Structure 1
Amino acid sequence: MASERRTLLADSAIDVLADEGIRGLTHRAVDRKAAMPPGTTSAYFRTRAALLTALVTRLVQLDQAELHTTTEELPPLRTVEELVNGMALLTRRRLTGEGRRRSLARYACAVESVRDPELREILVPRENAGREAVRLFLAAHGVTDVENRTRTLLTCLDGLVFDRLVSGGDVPREALEGLVTAALR
């Protein structure tokens, strides 16, 4: 029960952060969002730092699950078109619905992590099925510096998602094709 409540509070904190920004993230706001009595969030997460740590940890869990699901839905990435399709699916998920809310929260936490090494450590890109699929794709296409190119490609993809969160719209397919083409050079 306690772990379920912690998860509910962390999920509610993600929603508060997505809706109200970092300044709106308070214990009371999370209590309201979770429909819990006042003081519940502070009973589980005594400090703002503890609340942020729980929020970021949950965000990473949800992102990892999404990447695993996305990778399982796709065929093995053999062609540029298949990789671009996978990237397009991921960007759509990150820009709509719950994925959009998590993206907004993730970027707010990324800014906070500049001053908080604990948050930064949690947010460091993890090994996951999506990263491995890109790595294998690039290696199969003869890219020599696979680790660096994978990191660069995924960082650029992240930048496109951030741009579209701010400016609206979808990530253009041509932009995704351009990223893959550049990674293969």
Structure 2
Amino acid sequence: MARRNPERRAALVDAAIEVLAKEGARGLTFRAVDTEAAVPVGTASNYFANRDDLLTQAGARVYERLQPDEAATTRRPGASDRETYVMLMHELVDRISAFHSGYLALLELRLEATRRPDLRAVLTERVRADLDANVAFHLAAGLPGDETSVKLLYLAFNWLIVEQLTLPGVFSPAEREQLVAAAVDRIVRP
């Protein structure tokens, strides 16, 4: 029987994200989610039809939580120069890196998506929507570069974030700062 308490469902999905980050996809069980969410055993199974349902909802939720909050989007300057672009890219890398467990869970979800069509569909839809929103923001803000620049930065920064979260000793914080600026300089042309 599916429960309808949206706050409890969100807490369970958030707990699933934490379990994915800590234990990987193999560790994601209803019991592990119940334990992480500090709810009675059997609660998660009342909210999700099966493990695939839980994985799919975690895939959608992690993208919701990776979005910038309204305060971050309203404080962005209106300038469209290189310095603004570099500042926005630092903000992006820092925001995503700050949700360490979410990004690690997302890596697990991406691997699972190769075997689960429903999860693949959710992640494909979310990533495509995110890319489209980033391109639309870029064009509306009049930032230098074009749609391809946005996509190349997306690809470059995704791997920079993976390095930072999985092997943090590869690049120092100063190197990361330099790499973000260099990526903007080399990929984005006025």
TM superposition score category, shorter chain reference? 0.7 to 0.9
Number of matched pairs: 178
Distance 2:155 2:69 in 1: 15
**Stretches (4+) displaced over 6 A:** none
Conserved 8 A contact 1:93-1:100: no
1:179 aligns with 2:178: no
Residue of structure 2 equivalent to 1:44: 47
- C-alpha separation in 1, matches of 2:140 and 2:95: 23
Q: How far, CA to CA, are the matches of 1:14 and 1:67 in structure 2?
A: 19
The normalised TM-score by structure 2 is 0.82
User: Aligned AA for 1:61?
Assistant: E
Pair 1:73–1:107, CA change in 2 (3 A):
farther
Q: How many Å separate the matches in 1 of 2:58 and 2:143?
A: 37
What value does the CA root-mean-square deviation take over the aligned residues? 2.2
Aligned AA (1:13): A
Once the two structures are superposed, the pairs formed by residues 1-185 of structure 1 within 5 Å of their partners are: 2-64=5-67, 66=68, 69-96=71-98, 99-124=99-124, 125=127, 126-127=129-130, 130-136=134-140, 140-141=143-144, 143=145, 146-168=146-168, 169-170=172-173, 172-185=176-189
Q: Which runs of 5+ in 2 are unaligned?
A: none
Once residues 159 and 61 of structure 1 are traced to their aligned partners in structure 2, the CA distance between those partners, rounded to angstroms, is 20
When residues 16 and 69 of structure 1 are mapped into structure 2, their CA distance, relative to the original with a 3 A threshold, is farther
CA deviation string 1:30-86 (max 9, x = no partner): 00111111111111112110110111111122123x265533332125111111112
Letter in 1 for 2:136: E
Identity between Structure 1 and Structure 2 (%) = 31
In structure 2, what is the Cα distance between the partners aligned to 1:6 and 1:113? Answer: 22
Residue 134 of structure 1 and its aligned partner are, at CA, apart by: 3.0
Contact 2:134–2:150 (Cα < 8 Å) also in 1: no
* Structure 1 unaligned regions, length at least 5: none
Deviates more, 1:161-170 or 1:51-60: 161-170
